[in-house]
């Protein structure tokens, strides 16, 4: 067994299995404590909530609680390995919610037969939570699942692989293009993958100024074009009226490659086909579409990012989901809308252009970081993500009319 594999397995197994636990938040030592916590005291908040459901936020943990829910059909780039195998990833998301945004989070892995059964399962338990983060659910089912749950739930429902990924990709790409001296409205973009992450990333890039007709999307059968008859309704939105058919055809003269597909699908020599100063986001996890060392060996003028923590430029939804939920829950937003997503993009982007605090350099184990080709996007452990992204999101929720309470006082304290 490799050292790293052994280390990763031991990390998950010891000293106790898993990565999260539940802690109690009130005294529970004496007879008086128990009389308050349980019978008879617990009857009082029960009566208050029965009389007015919004009291649930006052007397229970709901308002700070996010469910991370998966069926294991698209676990990272590892594929459909079933709901049980997705549990380490979902516990990992819960760990990140707590570590970066102090949100309590619990993972729920659902076994189901039909899409409707999954939707009903989630809809029936949704009221317990402040928000629902859907994770690693494959396309195209993920689109219907999210849309239906948004309709049926009274709390934010957010498919992280779609929108978390899209927000971070947009923030990173806008910065990378700025460094390369390119304009997104003129950029030719190749998107490898046509699933949850791909469709959402490209839709958000279009909202940020990219041109739909400049996007070449590929699935396992090659370029998605108007003469294909095997496209689902989501892929059809990206059917390009083009003669390009292969990855190499699409890469010729392209400015950007966004990989949200699978490992090692971008041959290093194909990078030569791209325009000057290209941007390569190889975001498949754990193994990117191309290894950074191979890409850098092929060309010196590119900007390279992956989804991993162990290379520079980590384009990963961890830079978004803890903070977008923090902002949404802090103003009790009913949904996470486009205004909130675009506010998150701009807030994440801006942090990368500012001097990096010493504690971030220490956590990243690097002597310095400065906005440029090897630092296009903040590090996940940057504490400014919490204060700045959550605030921008909460303000956007209030301004767009989906907040159910005003900005909390804490946001106005120095």
Q: Does residue number 133 form part of the binding site for ligand NDP (CB under 6 A)?
A: no
C-alpha Rg value of the chain to the nearest Å: 22
Unique residue bearing structure tokens 């108007």: 226
Give yes or no for a contact between 217 and 191, defined as CB atoms under 8 angstroms apart. Answer: yes
- Choose the catalytic residue: 93, 182, 235, 341: 93
Is 285 labelled as part of a ligand binding site? yes
Identified binder of Mg ion from the candidate list 136, 148, 203, 330, rule CB under 5 A: 136
Q: Answer with the entry of Mg ion, ligand CC(=O)C(=O)O, ligand NDP, none that 187 interacts with (C-beta below 5 to 8 A by kind).
A: none
Identified binder of ligand NDP from the candidate list 49, 56, 76, 407, rule CB under 6 A: 76
Piece of 101-109, 125-133, 310-318, 371-379 that binds ligand NDP (CB under 6 A) = 310-318
Identified binder of ligand CC(=O)C(=O)O from the candidate list 71, 105, 180, 316, rule CB under 6 A: 316
DSSP secondary structure code for residue 361 in this structure: H
Identified binder of ligand NDP from the candidate list 145, 171, 197, 215, rule CB under 6 A: 197
- Give the torsion through C-alpha atoms of 213, 218, 219, 224, to 10 deg: 40
Residue partners of 371: CB distance under 8 A and separation at least 6: 175, 179, 352, 353
Q: Does residue number 265 form part of the binding site for ligand NDP (CB under 6 A)?
A: yes
Tokens matching residue 97:
């919610």
- Give the torsion through C-alpha atoms of 373, 376, 380, 383, to 10 deg: 120
Q: Does residue number 74 form part of the binding site for ligand NDP (CB under 6 A)?
A: yes
Helix, strand, or coil (residue 168): helix
Unique residue bearing structure tokens 């929108």: 163
Q: Does residue number 317 form part of the binding site for ligand CC(=O)C(=O)O (CB under 6 A)?
A: yes
Q: CA nearest 74: which of 265, 336, 282, 284? A: 284
Active site residue 58: no
- Choose the catalytic residue: 38, 59, 186, 272: 38
- Judged by CB under 5 A, the number of residues near Mg ion is 2
Cβ of 330: how many Cβ atoms within 10 Å? Answer: 23
Give yes or no for a contact between 101 and 323, defined as CB atoms under 8 angstroms apart. Answer: yes
Is 313 labelled as part of a ligand binding site? no
Give yes or no for a contact between 213 and 186, defined as CB atoms under 8 angstroms apart. Answer: no
Q: Does residue number 193 form part of the binding site for ligand NDP (CB under 6 A)?
A: yes
Residue partners of 295: CB distance under 8 A and separation at least 6: 268, 271, 280, 282, 302, 304
- 91 vs 161, beta carbon nearer Mg ion: 161
Active site residue 411: no
Q: Does residue number 261 form part of the binding site for ligand CC(=O)C(=O)O (CB under 6 A)?
A: no
Helix axes 160-180, 141-152, angle to 10 degrees: 110
Is 135 labelled as part of a ligand binding site? yes
Is 71 labelled as part of a ligand binding site? no
- Judged by CB under 6 A, the number of residues near ligand NDP is 29
- 126 vs 318, beta carbon nearer ligand CC(=O)C(=O)O: 318
- 192 vs 302, beta carbon nearer ligand NDP: 192
Which residues make up each annotated binding site? 135-136, 161, 285, 316
Binding residues for ligand NDP (CB under 6 A): 74, 76-77, 138-139, 161, 165, 192-198, 218-221, 260-262, 265, 283-285, 307, 315-317
Which residues make up each annotated binding site for (S)-malate? 285, 316
């Amino acid at each position: 067994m490799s050292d790293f594999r052994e280390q990763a397995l031991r990390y998950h197994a010891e000293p106790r299995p898993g990565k999260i636990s539940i802690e109690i938040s009130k005294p529970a030592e004496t007879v008086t404590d128990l009389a308050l916590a349980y019978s008879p005291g617990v009857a009082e908040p029960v009566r208050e909530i029965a009389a007015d459901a919004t009291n649930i936020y006052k007397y229970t943990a709901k308002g700070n609680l996010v469910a991370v829910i998966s069926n294991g059909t698209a676990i990272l780039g590892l594929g459909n390995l079933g709901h049980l195998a997705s549990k380490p990833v979902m516990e990992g998301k819960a760990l990140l919610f707590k570590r970066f945004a102090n949100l309590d989070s619990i993972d729920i892995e659902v076994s189901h037969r039909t899409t409707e059964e999954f939707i009903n399962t989630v809809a029936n338990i949704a009221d317990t939570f402040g928000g629902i983060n859907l994770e690693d659910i494959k396309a195209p089912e993920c689109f219907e699942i999210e849309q239906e749950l948004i309709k049926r739930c009274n709390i934010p429902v957010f498919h992280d692989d779609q929108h978390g990924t899209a927000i971070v990709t947009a923030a990173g790409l806008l910065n990378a293009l700025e460094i390369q001296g390119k304009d997104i409205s003129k950029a030719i973009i190749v998107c490898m993958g046509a699933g949850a992450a791909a469709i959402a990333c490209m839709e958000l890039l279009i909202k940020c100024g990219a041109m739909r007709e400049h996007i070449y999307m590929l699935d396992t059968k090659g370029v998605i074009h108007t003469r294909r008859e095997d496209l689902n309704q989501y892929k059809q939105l990206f059917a390009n009226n083009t003669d390009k058919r292969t990855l190499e055809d699409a890469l010729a003269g392209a400015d950007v490659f966004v990989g949200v597909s699978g490992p090692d699908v971008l041959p290093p020599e194909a990078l030569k086909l791209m325009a000057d100063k290209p941007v390569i986001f190889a975001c498949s996890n754990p193994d990117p579409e191309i290894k950074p060392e191979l890409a850098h060996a092929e060309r010196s003028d590119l900007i390279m990012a992956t989804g991993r923590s162990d290379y520079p430029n980590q384009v990963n939804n961890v830079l978004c989901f803890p903070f977008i939920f923090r902002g949404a829950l802090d103003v009790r937003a009913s949904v996470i809308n486009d205004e909130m997503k675009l506010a998150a993009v701009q807030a994440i982007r801006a942090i990368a252009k500012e001097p990096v605090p010493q504690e971030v350099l220490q956590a990243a184990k690097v002597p310095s970081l400065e906005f440029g080709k090897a630092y296009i996007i903040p590090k996940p452990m940057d504490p400014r993500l919490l204060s700045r992204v959550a605030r921008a999101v909460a303000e956007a929720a209030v301004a767009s009319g989906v907040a159910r309470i005003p900005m909390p006082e804490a946001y106005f304290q120095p």
